[in-house]
Copies of this chain bind each other. A is one copy, B any other.
């Protein structure tokens, strides 16, 4: 067996239940004080409808957004969850901790986002509806992206802490970007992806483990774990049009955002595969690229999806991002690990950080180039929400505001990540030693057949011929029972 220089206590039997219980009770209390149904989900709706002259129940926002909400929900739980199951021995942690983070995060997000966006001045309550649920899922997405950078290297308690601060930071940066700066970001290239990715990367940098190569035999996939990961990839890919259109304007806004995302993602598939094949001497494809880089087009079209990006514009964005993201997996991830001391388990720098920044830039350019000719007079005001205090806004200045929004997302991600990373370095969180990373056995009851795997290393001494029977016996137990 490999020995472990610094023995660590990975027992989370007190800390994990304590965090879960205390925080969940806090949620109940805060929800009791602050959160109520909005008028479209309150039983008074039937009276409200009459008073507002709404002709039909179908005008309830529920029918405009619920199908998209469910698609987003699938992306959060199955999409992100299964995308991370690719590691040979960390599938439980991937899908299970993803579940935990999201389950907690969405509650805290409803509160945090509610305080900033949906506080009813009449009674001081947060009023929630279907759009709040989508926004909470969006907020959680940024924390799950961050999880991708530290997958297999942190304890569930650390993940809860990371989510608590992540959601808090998200709500603030979102408020600054969308409300104060008045940037538009329907699909969250900046608010979700740029912020989430740099938040995770900064944390991973703070938590850098110089001796992680003691666990390197567990980094990598087995045949079926790669197939499981494709479930995540495909549900993300397929439902991304719903993600980018879920909270855009009723009518043409949602319609256009779905089309742009659909097209961008299609182009990404082709260029990601092309670069993947090009990068190997024999032209073979790499599942890591198929699982991840094919999604970059959805990230990068997030901000501009609701704009008149034009179908060919979407294809161009997807085209470029498929190339950049795949090259990132080939060149940038190893570079970052070796020279910048940032280990990025899932390669979120290639899938979320770079495409997110590109998305912010594309959004700024598209906004700056908007004209009444293309959008129509009303369409321009409607799409960019040039109303109220922003009535005097013009497209070129909007472009500048978009760029400012991108900077805010970057600052919050990097700054927040460094601070939270410091907190997570405290030796109280029960994280695994360097030789037990990426190993479900640390935090999970594993099937009886699992144990034999954890003592394996590429130069395992028991592989000699003197030990055949033992191996056979364990192999037998492992696979056949």
Residues 347-369 of chain A, each 1 if its beta carbon lies under 8 Å from chain B, else 0: 00000000000000000000000
- Interface segment out of the listed A169-177, A397-405, A444-452: A444-452
Shortest distance from the beta carbon of A14 to any chain B beta carbon, whole Å: 7
Contact A17 B275 (CB under 8 A): yes
Q: Which of A1-56 contact B (CB under 8 A)?
A: 11-14, 16-17, 20-21, 23-25, 27-29, 31-32, 35-37, 40-47, 49, 55-56
B78 and A223 contacting across the interface, CB-CB below 8 Å? no
Partner-contacting stretch, out of A181-189, A409-417, A465-473: A465-473
CA distance A406 to B45 in the complex (A): 29
Whether A20 and B274, one on each chain, are in contact in the complex, defined by CB atoms closer than 8 angstroms, is yes
Residues of B within 8 A of A32 (CB): 310, 312
Interface status of A379 (Cβ within 8 A of chain B): yes
- B476→A458 contact, CB < 8 A: no
Closest Cβ neighbor of A286 among chain B residues: B445
Report the stretch among A204-212, A237-245, A420-428 that lies at the interface. Answer: A237-245
Task: Report the interface size class on chain A.
Answer: 35 or more
When the two chains form their complex, are residues B85 and A227 in contact, meaning their CB atoms are under 8 A apart? yes
Q: Counting CB contacts under 8 A, is A263 at the interface? A: yes
Chain A, 307-332, contact with B by CB distance < 8 Å: what is the 0/1 string? 01011100110010000000000000
Taking CB as reference atom, which chain B residue is nearest A133? B262
Q: Which stretch from A93-101, A145-153, A193-201 is at the chain B interface?
A: A93-101
State in angstroms the CA–CA spacing of A450 and B221 once bound together. Answer: 10
Q: Are B43 and A379 in contact (CB under 8 A)?
A: yes
Contact B234 A77 (CB under 8 A): yes
Residue contact B234 to A287, C-beta cutoff 8 Å: no
A100 nearest in chain B by CB position: B273
Question: Closest B-chain residue to A309, C-beta based?
Answer: B37
Q: How far is the CA of A270 from the CA of B28 in the complex (A)?
A: 12
Question: Which residue of chain B lies nearest to A479 when distances are taken between CB atoms in the complex?
Answer: B479
Assess whether A178 is interfacial by the CB under 8 Å rule.
Answer: no
**Min CB gap A231→B, angstroms:** 7
Task: Say whether A228 faces chain B, with CB atoms less than 8 Å apart.
Answer: yes
